[in-house]
Amino acid sequence: MSTLNVDELMREIEAAAAQAGAEPQFPQLAMQQLLPALREYHAVEPRPPLIGRTRYERLWVRINQLLRRIAAHAVEPAVAQQNESNAAVLDALEQLLRADAGLRAVVTAQRSARVTTPQEERNAH
């Protein structure tokens, strides 16, 4: 049964991490690129504009306006709740991305503090 030398294993891992270079892209980075679009489109419009160019379309606009007035008491509270939910999810995503960036900075700082050059390793022995 062989024993495991933790110090040697740690040096190998740190050397491999130093040679690996930058981390590959993660979904968090792609999410950061999507945040501006999410901020723009997180609100749902309860009454999108109705456009009627021809007589027939203007007739349907009037009918839709009447139906909207009838259904407004049911639709608008649901839309308001959806907008609140969307805003809460967006806030949570932004907080997670900020926390992830902070954690990555701490991990990177700790890794750079622990990594030694090959010359320093030879001098230590």
Provide the residue ranges of all domains of the chain, joining segments of one domain with +: 6-124
Centre a 10 Å sphere on the Cβ of residue 29 and count the other Cβ atoms it contains.
13
Write down the pTM of the prediction: 0.54
Is 93's pLDDT higher than 80?
A: yes
Q: Which amino acid is at 3?
A: T
pLDDT single digits (tens) 33-80: 777 777 777 777 878 888 889 999 999 999 999 998 998 888 889 889
Q: Using alpha carbons only, what angle is made at residue 75 by residues 41 and 90, rounded to the nearest 5 degrees?
A: 30
Torsion sign, CA atoms 67, 73, 76, 78: negative
- Indicate the burial class of 125 (C-beta count within 10 angstroms; 0-12, 13-18, 19 or more): exposed
Tell me what the pLDDT averaged over the chain comes to: 80
Torsion sign, CA atoms 105, 110, 112, 115: negative
